[in-house]
Structure 1
């Protein structure tokens, strides 16, 4: 989010700021819950030290694969991308797994640069879609999805985990986004806002542009999945 420059009296500026930040925080006390993840610099450094890159390249797409779980700390500035990359290089050298991990860090940095260039333009289609997209805003259908009432265990479980923990695996994020955009034909912006509201590691650039990548408004093709893809990567 890039905040506009507010003018007027102190009260008018306060109202403008409050309006701009709607949806960023819990609006009801019952929505607030203690994070299951420890925050702070000490916890971030401990998590970085515990991460072992071996097997990352071959298993990172599996829900139980070897992923770093460092995105929370990078997102909130507790750990720097260069710092994380250097730590992996010093401990594991230039292995294939390390290189693949650096590439993923590179994507995150790339999104950040685009955010700096485009600002709130990341929330608008960057390209024409490569497949027909719906622009559905069906509130009943959206509620069914985000409340975990689709009847599809894989999607409903994704919602439950996201809301309860603030985190889901990146591959699960892609499946869910594809389900919302391509199967249910809802506009990608509704799903993007839902993710950003709940993800502890929710990064404006990575989140919005990843949804666009799935939708094909920032990629050369749409991202689709099937049952076999979930079965292959979901349980191992």
Structure 2
């Protein structure tokens, strides 16, 4: 295959020509540029202190390094060393390096488990058995036609640009598993079909954390949580504002979503995916 092109447009035209079946199925092209030079440019823009303070917000200073880490264009050690050299106070790098550590943990777990990451690590803590979850993504979620502006926007971004902010991934996963009662494996596979940075280890084990098959309770959220970390960008234009599926306190949602489960606050156990601590019920 050709490796040299005069422009990105020429590269895209060549790829469409070489893979007509893929182009016919989905003609969307991510804006993320590949290659080592592109990765180094993105790395230079990383701001560890701002990342630590704002990463939970959809407009926060996230790194956007995940595609390059996924395919080995950058290594975790490279990013760690760059971050430590960039900050004056090492504490400013703690949060970002902690996230790199979790990525390394998932990879090591994947090396041990292999294809077992597709199987429930534990039973659901939701009051439902695995057999009570559906085996396919509902058409309205896949098409982005649920009517919920946030969910439909996440679905379109997934298909069109192949990227979702980590918080949006959690919200979408929780909606699919807990509100629509779909097996986490179905959602995990759907994500991997579209995410440019889709990594089986981080993806599957995070879905399991949301579902509660790799944690002591399920992750879920309410409208207040979503509105806060999106700064209301979806809620302001949603026709269901004030009476959407996510309205209510966590206690109210817990009773609504998991009527057969024991109260989660009475459960013991450590949290498996620390990133779930970000502003939600996790």
Is the pair's TM-score, using the shorter chain for normalization, greater than 0.5?
Answer: yes
Any gaps of 5 or more consecutive residues in structure 2?
1-18, 233-282
Q: Does 1:184 align with 2:183?
A: no
In structure 2, what is the equivalent of residue 173 of structure 1? 169
Residue of 142, 145, 153 corresponding to 2:141: 145
TM-score (ref. length: structure 2):
0.71
- Matched residue pairs, number? 210
Query: Cα–Cα, structure 1 residues 75 and 161, in superposed 2: closer, same or farther, change >3 Å?
Result: same
Residue of 136, 159, 173 corresponding to 1:163: 159
Separation in structure 1 between the aligned mates of residue 180 and residue 104 of structure 2, nearest angstrom: 31
Q: Does 1:135 align with 2:130?
A: no
In structure 1, what is the equivalent of residue 250 of structure 2? none
Separation in structure 1 between the aligned mates of residue 127 and residue 22 of structure 2, nearest angstrom: 37
Displaced runs of 4 or more, over 6 A: none
Encode CA deviations 1:5-44: one digit per residue, 9 max, x unaligned: xxxxxxxxxxxxxxxxxxxx99542314332111100110
Any gaps of 5 or more consecutive residues in structure 1?
1-24
In structure 2, what is the equivalent of residue 102 of structure 1? 97
Give, in angstroms, the shift of residue 161 of structure 1. 0.9
Separation in structure 1 between the aligned mates of residue 20 and residue 186 of structure 2, nearest angstrom: 17
Separation in structure 2 between the aligned mates of residue 175 and residue 109 of structure 1, nearest angstrom: 23
Q: Is the 8 A contact 2:29 2:161 kept in 1?
A: no
Encode CA deviations 1:201-223: one digit per residue, 9 max, x unaligned: 00010000010000010112110
In structure 2, what is the equivalent of residue 72 of structure 1? 67
Q: Does 1:39 align with 2:29?
A: no
Q: Is the 8 A contact 1:175 1:225 kept in 2?
A: yes
| Matching of residues 155-234 of structure 1 within 5 Å | 155-234=151-230
Q: Is the 8 A contact 2:28 2:159 kept in 1?
A: no
Q: Is the 8 A contact 1:167 1:199 kept in 2?
A: yes
Give, in angstroms, the shift of residue 94 of structure 1. 4.4
TM-score (ref. length: structure 1):
0.84
